[in-house]
Chain A
Amino acid sequence: MEENVVLTARGISMSFPGVKALDDVDLTLRKGEIHALMGENGAGKSTLIKCLTGINDFESGEIHIEGIDGPVKNHSTRDAQNVGISTVYQEVNLCPNLSVAENLFIGREPLTKIHTIDRKSYNKRSQKIMDELGISVDVTQNLENYSLAIQQMVAIARAVDMDCKVLILDEPTSSLDDEEVEKLFTLMRGLREKGVSILFVTHFLEQVYAVCDRITVLRNGTFVGEYPIAELPRVKLVAAMMGKDLDDLAEIKKEQKDFSKEPLEINAKGLSHAGTVKPFDLEIHKGEVVGIGGLLGSGRSELARCIYGADKAQTGTLEVAGEQVKVNQPIDAMNKGMGMLPDDRKAEGIIADLSVRENIILALQAKRGMFRQLSRAQQEEIADRYIDLVQIKTASKETLIKQLSGGNQQKVILARWLATDPDFLILDEPTRGIDIGTKSEIQKLIVKLAGEGKSVLFISSEIEEMLRTCNRMVIMRDGQKVGELDHELSQESVMKAIAGGES
């Protein structure tokens, strides 16, 4: 084994029914480095991690770890921990109703002479661990009293304390704000000094350049290359991930025209839902793309849900295409030509155990009603058409949707709504957690839909994305609609409006 190398994986291959998920992939981790694992959705990042941590059984290839003779094959996360590989996932896998100290030592509590749990010593040890890592918490407090970022750091502290040589961080930053991300990075740099090797998986390019030393790039389950960070500028990284140069985004051209002459598609007056959105008015014209800007929790999703009937509006009136309607639940809205892609794909989007075909036709079938079942042939025709149209990467239309990567799942949900041929489509964070290639495809699709005369309500945390596609922006703050911007849309003007400066 080379000098300083902690872990090498060579020629790892693994397949799922019908798809080769990993094909001859290499990975080398050196002592005390932060190593980024990059690739689009479905490139095989998660699969590779699961091979390292024993969740997946890979078919061929070898993993070597410093200090252990012969190849290592883990069969469970416990095996992995025993050889020094620990993982912290996007969702914190700790117990919120236990104290920080209990979480740190769960399953390996220090014992007294008579084999009871030695609370005093483990509180003391926990405090020491947290202080060393520079995390200021009271370890006797319940975990749920702390922010997600702190919880994540506790998870990391737990992993580090279990003598890990390799720490895998799988999308740890996706639910953290900028300040919290910075704290996490400080912690990661501290660990690097201590000689821990960190494998960092993220979708945020800027974060890679902020902390990482090296990058390994995967594409479609194959190994593209390993690069020192200095040799791979951003543009080249994107090109390596996608296998082509990225000037796609520049091609997106929204329609520039005055929509106020167009007929109204949606006319909401005084809609509200107690506790989430205060009464608001909103007009959306035919063929118009309206964006909602605001911080997470400002009520932007809730506004959309109120129109769609996902949360029933308690006050106000809603007109769709000039006709007053009563929307008590989503099916009512659907019958008026609406569709909504919700922000929480896992909880409200996919039906995990159903096939891609069934997921695509679900909304259309719901609209037709139980007794007018689409024939199998019709279902297959629709599924094929939309798999082709939005380019869903799946082994077959009978593959379960849960076996698809996140980006492709999102495309299936999009296909589900396109199949209902909606006049008004709500897209709530359609591009969250999705690779750049798919992002630009979705943005193009939005512009295309608008061109066909459909109206779109688009919600995103990425202002750039909305600037590129939206004709008008609604600004939300604290559950209230505070303004609209219809000209001079720029990053600065939108940020100002969201922050609530002078606008």
Chain B
Amino acid sequence: MKKTWTKIKQWPLFLPVLSLIIVMAVNIIHDAATGANPLSFFLISLRDTTTSGTILYGRIIDIINRGSEVAILAIGMTLVVSASAGTDISVGSVMSLCASFMCMMLAGYGVSSTTTLAVPLVVGLLCAVVMGLVCGAFNGTLVAHLHIQPMVATLILYSAARAIGLLLCNDLIVYVRNPSFAFIGAFAGPIPTPIIITAICIIVVSLVLKKTALGMYIQSVGINARASRIAGLNSKLLIFLAYLLCGLFSAIAGIVASSRITSADSNNIGLYLEMDAILSVALGGNSLGGGKFNLAGSIIGAYTIQAITTTLYALGVSSIQAPVFKAIIVIIIVVIEAPPFKAFVGRLSASRAAAKGVRA
């Protein structure tokens, strides 16, 4: 019994999963206290709607759906943190820029609202992806080749990208009210499409990490770039690649976010999501100092953040005050995961065990 417990505690995902469970527990207690079905948090039902037909409905579906953007961003952010020991704070703005560029292409320059697409949807999506890659390449070049601090290098696009997006859209909020475009942010059959897109991203990246040596390369460079170079790795290229992929995932997240609201709202798409993405990586038990990473942890972290937000709304906290409570919960989780705290708990339980021994 004790052995299995130690084993569970050593599992790298133990703390991320534990925090997620705690958030779920709060829901259960709240539901029970208010007299609702204690398990209503987990209930999934089919519901008929006039707009989307029969869809899956439930709080958990909502969390996984709404958490898609952060989960997608967290993939890229994990790689960037691991390879460069820095964070890409431009992801939210890049999301917005990619969305603006895509909607501008789909609607045509200067058009503020359209129902018919000016170019095929695929072209629009490709434009968003290319824009994401360009932004990623820009960040990657600054960090990998010019050795600029990641925070400073990505600060440039953090502040500039939204403005560039507005320029592209002629200062308008461009609405693309076209069903084929709206599909990306809506439902594929009963399942929300963003969930499917996120799942595909996660599966593809996991496969790449499993089937190629990319994961080990990136970790190796993140731990010791000089030694990795001597051992034959192209450290600069790998750091560049991490930022490039981060740009790609920002674009995908941007497409999803934009399709949800069938528009490109430069000032609001992806707002503050860079912080959530960084937080996901940290909640996942990854060191922001770079090196070893755990992708599954980051993704659980992303959904934990969304679960906290949804829970707060369920508890009746207003959206203006929600950040305060979110901050408190995050502090608790981060403290639990901090090594000095773990050591403290370890000492505490050791001394308690010793005291027991004396009594016996």
Contact = CB atoms under 8 A, between A and B. Distances in A.
A331 interface: yes
Contacts of A310: 229-230
Interface in B248-295: 291-292
A331 B233 CA distance: 7
B212 interface: yes
A49 interface: no
A358 B216 CA distance: 8
Contact of B213 (A342, A353, A365): A365
Nearest to A366: B232
A350 B223 CA distance: 9
Residue in B212, B216, B217, B234 with the greatest tally of chain A CB atoms within 10 Å: B216
Contacts of B93: none
Contacts of A365: 213, 216
Contact of B224 (A340, A350, A369, A374): A350
Interface in A342-390: 342, 347-354, 358, 362-363, 365-371, 373-374
Contact of B227 (A329, A349, A373): A349
Contacts of A350: 224, 227
B324 interface: no
Given A353-B291, A370-B217, A373-B211, A330 B223 contact: no
A100 interface: no
Interface in A168-222: none
A30 interface: no
Contacts of B223: 351-354
B226 interface: yes
A367 B213 CA distance: 11
A472 interface: no
A371 B212 contact: yes
A416 interface: yes
A327 interface: no
Contacts of B229: 310, 329-330
Interface string A294-329: 000000000000000010000000000000000001
A416 B223 CA distance: 17
Interface in B200-225: 211-214, 216-217, 219-220, 223-224
Given A331-B233, A331-B234, A347 B227 contact: yes
A310 B220 CA distance: 17
B228 interface: yes
Contacts of B220: 351, 354, 358, 362
A370 B232 contact: no
B353 interface: no
Contacts of B230: 310, 330, 340, 342, 348-349
Interface string B295-339: 000000000000000000000000000000000000000000000
Contacts of B227: 342, 347-351
A373 B213 contact: yes
B224 A352 contact: yes
A334 interface: yes
A348 B234 CA distance: 14
A340 B231 CA distance: 8
Interface residues of A, number: 28
Contacts of B233: 331, 362, 366
A330 B232 contact: yes
Given A352-B224, A353-B223, A353-B292, A334 B232 contact: yes
Interface residues of B, number: 21
B212 A373 contact: yes
Contacts, number: 74
A111 B125 CA distance: 67
A86 to B, nearest CB: 24
A363 B231 contact: yes
Contacts of A340: 230
Interface in B158-191: none
Contact of B232 (A331, A354, A374): A331
Contacts of B217: 366, 370
A351 B211 contact: no
Contacts of B231: 330, 351, 362-363, 366, 416
A219 B216 CA distance: 35
A331 B228 CA distance: 10
Given A348-B230, A353-B291, A370 B224 contact: no
Contacts of A342: 227, 230
A246 B224 CA distance: 37
Contacts of A373: 211-213
B232 A351 contact: no
Nearest to B214: A370
Nearest to B290: A353
Contact of B226 (A329, A331, A348, A371): A348
Contacts of B228: 351, 362
B230 to A, nearest CB: 5
B312 to A, nearest CB: 36
Given A350-B227, A351-B227, A354-B219, A363 B232 contact: yes
Contacts of A363: 231-232
Residue in B211, B220, B234 with the greatest tally of chain A CB atoms within 10 Å: B220
A388 B228 CA distance: 24
A365 B213 CA distance: 8
Residue in B211, B213, B230, B292 with the greatest tally of chain A CB atoms within 10 Å: B230
Nearest to B235: A329
Nearest to A368: B213
Nearest to B232: A366
Nearest to A17: B10
Contacts of A416: 231
Interface string A116-155: 0000000000000000000000000000000000000000
Contacts of A368: 213
Contacts of B211: 373
Interface of B: 211-214, 216-217, 219-220, 223-224, 226-234, 291-292
Q: 10 shortest A-B CB distances, which residue pairs?
A: A366-B232, A331-B232, A373-B213, A363-B231, A334-B232, A353-B223, A362-B231, A348-B227, A351-B223, A353-B291
Given A352-B223, A373-B212, 4 more contacts: A331-B233, A351-B231, A362-B220, A374-B213
Interface of A: 310, 329-331, 334, 340, 342, 347-354, 358, 362-363, 365-371, 373-374, 416
